[in-house]
Amino acid sequence: MNEIKKYVEKLFENAPKKSNELKEELLLDLGEKYTDLINEGKNSNEAYNEIISGIGNIQELLNTNNGSENLDYRKKKALITSLCIGLYILALISVILLESFNMDEAIIVTSFFGIIGLSTCILVYYNMSIPNYNKKDDTMVEEFKEWKNKKNRKQAIRNNISSIIWSSIVIIYFIVSFITNAWYITWVLFIIGGLFEQVASLIINVRGDKNE
């Protein structure tokens, strides 16, 4: 493993500092691969040679990490995220404005629900449309890029579900509070929302582990 670490350090010697996390993740993956090969009965030299020959083009991985291959995707993601954040802010502003004009509570809640729902749907659609990465060969770099893609998709799904849960909780909070006027106790809904979020995160992790 020391020789493998030296080899990887050499590969990353001209890489930017922000690639350190990527390097550590790759070393961890290579370490697991090395242990598996040793457990299969191969000696240290055989394991080392197989791992080194199977790493692949590390520059492609660095380009992916630096965003040089995904500039258009990153710009589109930033645009969509900014738009949705703007809609969330607009939803809160709409409540204040409509209340100032003494609008009916049903109209206020409907407006809030509609804007929040639109923003959430945009986020869900965009993140769910991210294509799966299919590795081009059996090298370590391609396997790592495939794993990274799955990890990013899982995080995107988690973020979407969290957004939906909290948007729903806020909406329910306002509806229940306006109807019952029990503002002193309806804050409990936010605790319930936190519990739902933890359960959803656990389910995503379990399903993800089964699919990997």
pLDDT tens digits, one per residue of 67-91: 444 566 677 777 887 888 888 788 8
Residues 140 and 87 in one domain: yes
Examine the domain organization and report whether 24 and 80 are in the same domain.
Answer: no
Query: What is the count of structural domains for the chain?
Result: 2
Q: What is the pLDDT of residue 71?
A: 61
Domain C-terminal end among 64, 82, 112 = 64
The pLDDT score that the predictor gives to residue 184 is 85
Identify residue 148 by its one-letter amino acid code. K
- Cα-Cα end-to-end distance for the chain: 25
Q: Are residues 205 and 143 in the same domain?
A: yes
Domain of residue 138 covers: 70-211
- The two tokens of residue 14 are 């001209």
Of 13, 32, 64, which residue constitutes the final position of a domain?
A: 64
Q: What is the pLDDT of residue 207?
A: 62
- Do 196 and 98 share a structural domain? yes
Q: Last residue of a domain, which of 20, 38, 64? A: 64
Question: Do residues 38 and 12 both lie within one domain?
Answer: yes
Q: Are residues 123 and 26 in the same domain?
A: no
Do 17 and 52 fall within a single domain? yes
Report the alpha-carbon distance of residue 84 to residue 78 in Å, rounded.
10
Summarised one tens digit per residue, pLDDT across range 5-44 is 888 888 777 777 767 877 888 888 888 888 888 898 888 8
0.75 exceeded by pTM = no
